[in-house]
Structures are given as C-alpha cells and as structure tokens.
Structure 1
Amino acid sequence: MAGVLLGIGVGPGDPEMLTLKAVKAIKEADVICLPRADKDKCRAYQITLPVVPEIKYKKTISMDFEMTRDEDHLKEIHEEFYNKYKQLVLDGYNLAFLTIGDPTVYSTFGYIMKLAKKDGIEVEIINGITSFCGSAASAGIVLSEAEENIHIISGQGNIEDELKLPGTKIIMKSGKYISEIKEKLIPLEEAGKISVNAVIDCGMETEEIFTSAMTIPDDSKYMMTIIIKEK
C-alpha cells in the first residue's frame, strides 16, 4: 500500500506558531522533505527543530530550489526533486514536505503536489499560519474589517494597477522589486491615502517591523511582507 505525501506549513518563523496537527504529522512521518539542500540553512527545518527535536534523526531528502522565471527549467527542478522520493511513497512511506507559512500560498509544494496526484499518490495538506497573518499580528494591525476586501499580490506584476484595487493589499515576494514598489507607495502615503506596514523575518529573532514605505530599506530581504491599508 502506498504512503501519503503531506504538505505541512510550519508558519512564518516562530516555532511556537506550529499547529498541534503539524507537530503530530512531522513526528509520525517516515521521511522529511526540505526545499533546501543544507538543512542547517533551511528556514522551515530550523523553525521545526525546537518543537520537534527528533526531526534531526529522521531520513531527510533535500535539494536547493533555484529561483527562476524560466518555466521549462523550473519544471525540470520540480520533477528532479519529486523523482528523488516518488518511489519511497509508492513503497509505503509517509513523506512530510515542510514549507514556510502555508502550503497553499506561493509554495513549492503546490508543484510537487500536482506531480504526485498525476501518479495517483494520496496528498494531504496541513495548513500553517501565513506570513501575512503573522505580519499583521507583529505590526499590531487587522487585515480587514466590515466589508473590506483583501488582495494578495506577488510583487512581481503591475504594481501600479494592483494598488488601485479596493481594500487591503498584501505584497509578498517583494525583495527584488522593493525600489519600484516604494516609488509607487511613497506618493500615496504622503498624500494620506494609504498606511504602510512591512515585516521582515516575521516571528524570528531577526524580525524587523517598518511602519511606513519610506523607512523600508532598499536592500530588503526576500522574506518580507508589505501590508497596505486604505485611509
């Protein structure tokens, strides 16, 4: 009987934000899959370790995922990783793929899940606290009230048009494009139309919180979430 592929969200950074369900599933998994070749540098692994110390003794499959917009190359990377553990699942082992935040939001697991489902492998998703929910808590704000909409933006599209959407805008994966994003945000902020909060490394010891677009550093890290509220 084949095993199960689990996509497990470990939250944005604070180990105490792992859910009880995630902890239980990681403890029971036969193999741990990581999106980073060096587990000591893998954020998802380091988040999990203090809560599930026995993870260090589990069989681990890991490799680096190159950040690229080349869809053909990206497909090759996902297939290579998937093929490293496909047979283990078919042989009956349960595999836990750890991902920062939640597996359903901008996660590499989504691509792996599609490949597994094509092969008839059972897949289970265990949700984690998202970076934008964690960032809102760190910044001491709410994401929406009453009839406000919430828009999740990748930070790699047409920012000018996306900022015209009504309600709260959440920009993720924005590190490489922060200068361009700030150019669009600062005039709106100075005109009193919006308020801006940004959080880097949410829930970690290195967490930084910025309460205006102007104060966001131009060399910001990849793991930054920007929350834009209308005034």
Structure 2
Amino acid sequence: MSSKLVGVGVGPGDPELVTVKGVNVLRAADVVVVPVMAAPDGTDGGERGRAEATVVHYVPEEKIVRVVFALNERSDRARREAAWDAAGERVAQLLRSHTTVAFATIGDPNVYSTFTYLAQTVGELVPGTVIATVPGITAMQDLAARSGAVLTEGTEPLTLVPVTAGAAVLKEALSGPGTVVAYKFGRQAREVAEALRESGRVEGAVWGSALGLPEESVRPAGDLDDGPLPYLSTLIAPPVRDGGRGGKL
C-alpha cells in the first residue's frame, strides 16, 4: 500500500483553533512531524516551535518527531538547500516505515507553508506517496476575529502579500482596491508604517503577532514604531468604506 503524507494546518497558535478534522488526522497518523529551527551547526536548536506547542495538546509527545528545517536561514542558499534535502530525506524515511505521516504546519498548509516544498521533495524521494492536506485557520482570519476588522464586504477583493518580498509589493497593493493583508513584515515595520501613511490606509488598519499565545499583541497600525517586530507579524489594512449596508452584495 502507498504511504500517505498529510499536511495539517494547526492555526496561528491557539490550540482551540485546530479544526476537528485536523485533530482527528493528527491522532490517527502513525507519527506527527513538526518543523523546528536549526541551530548554527545545523542541528535541532531545541526550541519548541509554534506547531509543536499546538500539537502537544492533542497527541502524546512520544508520537511527535521533530525535523530540522532551515526556517531561519536566509543568507546562505547552499546551507538552506542542504537542510531542506536532509529534512525531506528524514520524512521520506518515516514514510518508508509508516503508513501515514502527518506534518503539522502553522496556519494553512497551502498558504506560504513549508509543507508545499516538503511534499514536492518527498514525492520525488518516495514515488507513489499520497499527498493530502487539511486546511487550517490563517493568521489573517484570527487577527480579524480578535481585532474586529472586517476582511471583505460585498465585491471587494482581498490581497495577501508577504513583505519578505520587499515593501514595494505592499505599496503597490495598498494603491489598489479592497483589503490588503501583509504577512511576515516584522523586520520592515518602518517601511510598512510609511506605506500605510502614504496610501492613507492607517485608519482602521491593525497588526498583530503571537496570536493566541501569552505574548499576543493586537494593536492599531497607528502604533507601529521604528523598532523591529516579531517576524510573523500580520497586518490588515481595510479600504475606506462608505458605511452603506448591503449595497455591494
């Protein structure tokens, strides 16, 4: 029988936001893989990641397998590629000896997730592996709920951009219609604040980090300062709305 690799979205960090289906798949899997950041020497840095901290609420620790990914390597491409290859081979080994392997990823496995690359690598290493995903609550959904921000109304578009690509992509999105959501903007907080001011989008915009965790922060975008924020910070910048009801439905 073919082995199965399932990417399970476990949400932004609040264990209560894992779906019932996600919990069932995690519990039914033979092993649950969680990504951890590499230490400078490429080994397990020992820090419990957000996905693992969520998963332990639902499965026993002895069922969890920590796999090192170069999540924090951005300058040395060769080192990053080598780490990805090693991670893929580790998961491939698990699939050769187990029927079902679940991979827990924060947010959704099809939205800027490490699972996308892992599935591609594993599919090449273990031909015939069945790949599946279980959707998860995204950071923008959680931030909208916690802040009261409305993501879309009527025919408004929704634009999602990763600021790791540079602030220019955010500025371009803010010049268009609808709500703009920015992911991973923590290291470019100053540029994001400037882009919001230039586009007239500060009013009503919110940002948040560590959603669902003890150190959670949800604040108006007008409070953005020049200091660096957590890498996984999320921004929601709604458009200026006329206050009408039902006109755009």
Common fold by TM > 0.5: yes
Q: Deviations over 1:116-166 (max 9, x none)?
A: 233331111011100100110011121000010000000123232222121
Query: Does 2:58 correspond to 1:47?
Result: no
Deviation at 1:187, TM superposition (A): 3.8
Which of 129, 132, 135 lines up with 2:140 in the alignment?
A: 132
Contact 1:3 1:122 (C-alpha < 8 Å) held by counterparts: yes
SS in 1 for 2:152: coil
Query: Does 2:86 correspond to 1:75?
Result: no
Contact 1:31 1:93 (C-alpha < 8 Å) held by counterparts: no
Match of 2:9 in 1: 9
Which of 200, 203, 221 lines up with 2:212 in the alignment?
A: 203
Inter-partner Cα distance in structure 2 for 1:10 and 1:17: 7
Which of 208, 219, 238 lines up with 1:229 in the alignment?
A: 238
Give structure 2 stretches of 5+ with no counterpart: 37-43, 241-249
Matched letter for residue 206 of structure 2 = N
Q: What TM-score results when the alignment is normalised by the length of structure 2?
A: 0.83
Match of 1:183 in 2: 194
Between the two proteins, the alignment pairs up a number of residues equal to 227
Query: Does 2:181 correspond to 1:170?
Result: yes
Q: Deviations over 1:32-55 (max 9, x none)?
A: 2111035652111111222x1x33
Inter-partner Cα distance in structure 2 for 1:168 and 1:146: 12
Give the share of equivalent positions with the same residue, in percent: 28
Inter-partner Cα distance in structure 2 for 1:70 and 1:104: 25
Matched letter for residue 149 of structure 1 = P
Give the RMSD, CA atoms, in angstroms: 2.1
SS in 1 for 2:221: coil
SS in 1 for 2:205: strand
Matched letter for residue 226 of structure 1 = L
Query: Does 2:27 correspond to 1:57?
Result: no
Inter-partner Cα distance in structure 2 for 1:134 and 1:38: 28
Q: Deviations over 1:179-200 (max 9, x none)?
A: 11111113434xx775311111
Structure 1 stretches of at least 4 aligned residues deviating more than 6 Å after TM superposition: none
Contact 1:116 1:122 (C-alpha < 8 Å) held by counterparts: no
Shift in CA distance, 213/67, structure 1 to aligned 2, threshold 3 Å: farther
Give structure 1 stretches of 5+ with no counterpart: none
Match of 2:151 in 1: 143
Matched letter for residue 139 of structure 2 = S
Contact 1:90 1:121 (C-alpha < 8 Å) held by counterparts: no
